[in-house]
Amino acid sequence: MAAKRLKLTSTDADSAAVQAAAQVVNAGGIAVMPLETVYCAMARVDHTQALADLRRLRSLPADKPIALHVADAKSAEQYIDPPSPYQHYLMSRLWPGPVGMVFAVSREKREEVTARLAVAEHDVYDAGQITIRCPAHAVARKVVGACPHPLAAVPAADGALDVGALPQELLNKVEIVLDDGPVRHGRPSTIIRAGERDFQIVRQGVFDRRILEKMLQTTILFVCSGNTCRSPMAQAIARKVLADWLNVPEKQLEQAGYQVISAGTSTLGGSPAAAYAIEAVREYGADLSAHRSRPLTQQLISQATVIFVMAQNHADAVLAADPSASDKVMLLDSHGDIEDPIGGELALYKNLARKIKGVIENRLADRSLLGAGEVKK
């Protein structure tokens, strides 16, 4: 009997599809669904028969572990030793996304996990290691999150970038297929070995090392309206503060792992900073003379490690563009909005620069830049 096929429409409207797929895998069946890289066949790792059926789909050895898929980093931590700060940072920056991570796991933890799941060690671990992935595809992640344990996943077929590429023989062996059209990337996920202080690429896929290093860079994004006064002033002052705290020349901030940028919610881009803004930040050794405004984009939001907004309406604009950014958006001044100085005199800009410097110093020292290493004076 051929698999039930559900066409996905939008993330918000897919609750029925998520529930149907979760019901299948929770009952011990196999579901095929899109990741951002390929269509995968997925089954619960703690269902022995389903796992055996999954291996047979791809003619995999009976003792070969299959990469586990989780909904978030917190779920992954149930199957590995307590992560180092660097490993935690890797997960926070690269997940969800097309990156699988290989962790070395102690014997004690492996024994505890396999006893809890009631599975053989080779179902989860390979020579003391485990491979875990947190997919970026929203529906797939919701299905995984609706299951009490991770889902093992294998490519449904070679080159399975669309439902049309799935052979009928496979469709006869699975219970449900979620159809979201062609996958986003069409390349395999990148797999890295997540060490305590560094990473190595095991398999290059969607991301190469250059892109991964860029993604792991701590990016601080300041957002205002026109990107000619408040946010560029904050950007220039933050760069100077960081450079001083790190004891590096400002032009070497990127080499030290930090990028500081700004954008506006109401600009087409290309405008210089306000003359008074340029003069006000000069007192702190900051230079805005070359600044040109740029509009806020979803790419900038995704790239940012933390997003400091000048007012609540800027936070609303960020979240309207990317609701998933909610955990990294905050007012620069925790006490309220920083008012727009546009049209004011130089004294107003100087007072604003002094205030921005104070709140930036408090914010950056307090947040420790999301695990990229503490920044201290």
Active-site amino acid positions:
224, 230, 340
Instruction: Evaluate whether 371 touches 92 at the Cβ level (below 8 Å).
Output: yes
3-state secondary structure (DSSP) of residue 264: strand
Cα gap 107→348, rounded to integer Å: 63
The one-letter amino acid at 303 = Q
Other C-beta atoms closer than 10 Å to the C-beta of 206 total 18
Instruction: Evaluate whether 288 touches 233 at the Cβ level (below 8 Å).
Output: yes
Which of 67, 2, 31 minimizes the C-alpha distance to 140? 31
Instruction: Evaluate whether 273 touches 291 at the Cβ level (below 8 Å).
Output: yes
Angle, to 10 degrees, between the axis of helix 15-26 and the axis of helix 138-145? Answer: 40
Cα gap 87→82, rounded to integer Å: 9
Find the farthest-apart pair of alpha carbons in the chain and give their distance in angstroms, rounded: 77
- Measured CA to CA in angstroms, residue 105 lies from 66, 80, 109, 145 at distances of 16, 6, 6, 23
What's the sign of the alpha-carbon dihedral 295, 301, 305, 309?
Answer: positive
Residue ranges in 134-292 assigned as alpha helix (H): 138-145, 168-171, 209-216, 230-246, 275-282
